[in-house]
């Protein structure tokens, strides 16, 4: 029953806003870093064209952003954190403690260049900070389990 209650009180607008924000950020970020990123992933050698990528790549990205958003929101909710500033801090902590170390480990074993690591890790840093800011501003819950309307987020 608690799972159903959590689903019923989830702020789906916040989740959707974060997915849209991530895709917009990705378009801008990888637009700016397109050439070094394409070189870093050896796109030409592999015959990879991101504009002709199969839909499963984008579906996977949507699922990943949703899961990441729920994780950041859960951490914030567990810690009683509210507001944009707290959200940015939580996003940074998730990046520093989870995303960046895992990227470094996988990229080191793959033999990827430091340029590629910096491009992708930078995107994840900004993306997770934005996730925290969006969750902090909009909240993950439309109302607590008791049904009362939550107080507005503090800045």
Of 101, 102, 74, 98, which is closest to residue 10 (Cα–Cα)?
Answer: 74
Q: Are 120 and 106 in contact (CB under 8 A)?
A: no
Whether residue 33 lies inside any domain: the answer is yes
Dist CA 19 CA 3 (whole Å): 22
Whether residue 103 lies inside any domain: the answer is yes
Range of the domain at 45: 2-138
Phi and psi torsions of 137, nearest 5°: -80, -45
137: tokens are: 């501003």
Buried-exposed string 3-17: b where 16+ CB fall within 10 A, e elsewhere: eeeeeebebeebbeb
Q: What is the pLDDT of residue 1?
A: 64
Of 60, 82, 78, which is closest to residue 132 (Cα–Cα)?
Answer: 82
Whether residue 154 lies inside any domain: the answer is no
Q: What is the pLDDT of residue 149?
A: 46
Provide the domain count of the chain. Answer: 1
Q: What is the pLDDT of residue 127?
A: 98
Whether residue 145 lies inside any domain: the answer is no
pLDDT block averages, 10 residues each, the chain of length 155: 76 94 97 95 87 91 95 92 96 97 96 96 98 94 58 55
Contacts (Cβ under 8 Å, ≥6 apart) of 75: 81, 90, 93, 94
Whether residue 148 lies inside any domain: the answer is no
Q: What is the pLDDT of residue 2?
A: 77
What is the pTM assigned to this prediction?
0.86
Whether residue 67 lies inside any domain: the answer is yes
Whether residue 78 lies inside any domain: the answer is yes
Handedness of CA 113, 117, 120, 122 (dihedral sign): negative
Whether residue 104 lies inside any domain: the answer is yes
Instruction: Check residue 96 and give left, alpha or beta (phi > 0: left; psi -120 to 50: alpha).
Output: alpha
Strand partners, 141: 10
């Amino acid at each position: 029953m608690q799972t159903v209650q959590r689903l019923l009180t989830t702020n789906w607008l916040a989740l959707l806003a974060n997915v849209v924000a991530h895709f917009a950020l990705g378009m801008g970020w990888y637009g700016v870093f397109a050439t070094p990123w394409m070189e870093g992933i050896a796109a030409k050698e592999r015959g990879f064209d991101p504009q002709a990528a199969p839909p499963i790549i984008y579906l996977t990205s949507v699922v990943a952003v949703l899961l990441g958003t729920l994780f950041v929101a859960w951490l914030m909710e567990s810690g009683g954190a509210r507001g944009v500033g707290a959200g940015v801090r939580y996003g940074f902590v998730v990046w520093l403690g989870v995303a960046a170390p895992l990227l470094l480990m996988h990229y080191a074993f793959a033999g990827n260049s430091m340029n590629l690591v910096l491009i992708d890790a930078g995107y994840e840093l900004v993306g997770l900070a934005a996730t925290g800011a969006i969750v902090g501003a909009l909240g993950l819950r439309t109302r607590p389990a008791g049904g009362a309307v939550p107080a507005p987020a503090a800045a």
